[in-house]
Amino acid sequence: MSVRLRIITHSLVAILVLNTIGVAVGFLLFYLVGNPYLGERLNDNLGIISTRYFLLGAIVVLALTGIGALWLISVTVRHVTGPLQRLNRAASEIRDGNLGYELVVSGQDEFAELGAGFEQMRIRLKDSMWLQEKAEAERRTMMASVTHDLKTPITSIIGYAEGILDGVADTPEKTLEYAAVICKKARSLQALSEDLSLLSRLENAQLPLYKQEEDLGAIVYELANEFSHNEPNLKLTMELAPGIMVSIDKEKISRVLINLFQNSVKYKKPDQVSAEVSLTLIRQENAALLTVSDKGMGVTPGDLPHLFEQFYRADSSRGRQSGSGLGLTIARQLVHLHNGKIWIISDPDGGLSVNIALSRLGG
């Protein structure tokens, strides 16, 4: 029952009860006073006493009627003010920062609808605040990681440059060695800058896609051979199903694969001469599934869910490796930009398998 209907009903009941009792009392008084036979009896003592008791009873009845009316009014007022008080308490809790305060609502009237809407607003506000706090924590982590990753190569560049200027590199060979280190560190800074710029554009939806119909197996084969030619510490095996056509931005997907290849080389086991990487591409019902597996250091089960986070390094041994720490984060963003899926499986014997599923064209 709605609040308006309930108030109207209570009011009508109160009016009906008062009118009924008033009419009944008025009728009795009129009957007693207006009846000649009874009027004569009012002159004797017994009649006067009866009339007095009657009038007293009428007053009592009217008093009880008033009390009943007041009770009906108080019930109606409590029905209106009770939900408003609970809503005011919930608003005060939220104003004071207690977003965990739950407003319990019941019934099916307008107050229940208002309370349910208020509770949904609280939940959304709580989720929004959680996301904001999470984003702020990630921002602080990113700033600390960027500061660290910038400081290390900059310190090396300054040190080797001062070595050249101060004459520490006193032979052409040593000068060339110092210059090579400076160049290497400068390129790592350039790579970090490019990764940060790319990630920023991805997160702000400012990176356009130029999709074309491509043979995914041919792209993987060409890129893997080119990468292994320039990377002597990589041993590749490939099993690629032919003729799997996809609609992709070739440059963006190539960037994903390069990031995965670089990680496999970077995190090979210390006793491995070359990183062992296997590539498999198979058809699924409506998708192409590409798997990049290695036999490297791997990660613990606790680290696995965090590998796509910015600047995350699973442990101290992996943390010593160079790089921006953004490779997997960028890979995930680029795959998601293609409406694809990417996930990682850890091998108990060591190594990781990165799986990429992309929509496949044709049957």
pLDDT tens profile 203-253: 888 888 899 999 999 999 999 999 888 888 788 899 999 999 999 999 999
Pick the more confident residue, 278 or 19: 278
The predicted model scores a pTM of 0.60
Radius of gyration of the chain (CA): 41
> So what's the pLDDT on residue 125?
87
Specify whether the CB–CB gap between 360 and 245 falls below 8 A. yes
Give residue 319's pLDDT. Answer: 46
Contact call for residues 217 and 281 (beta carbons, < 8 A): yes
**Is 175 a residue whose pLDDT tops 70?**
yes
Residues 110 and 121: their CA atoms lie apart, in Å, by: 17
CATH architecture label of 138-203: Orthogonal Bundle (1.10)
pLDDT at 279: 94
In CATH, which superfamily holds the domain spanning 212-359?
Answer: Histidine kinase-like ATPase, C-terminal domain (3.30.565.10)
pLDDT in tens, 79-123: 666 777 777 888 888 888 888 888 777 767 777 777 788 888 888
CA separation for the pair 203, 337 (Å, rounded): 10
At residue 42, the pLDDT reads 46
More confidently predicted of 134 and 242: 242
Confidence of residue 285 (pLDDT cuts 50, 70, 90): confident
Q: Say which amino acid occupies 73.
A: I
Mean pLDDT across 181-202: 86
Task: Tell me the three state secondary structure of residue 273.
Answer: coil
Residue ranges per domain, the chain? 3-98, 138-203, 212-359
Q: Which of 350, 181, 149, 156 is nearest to 267 (CA)?
A: 350
**Two tokens, residue 108:** 């099916």
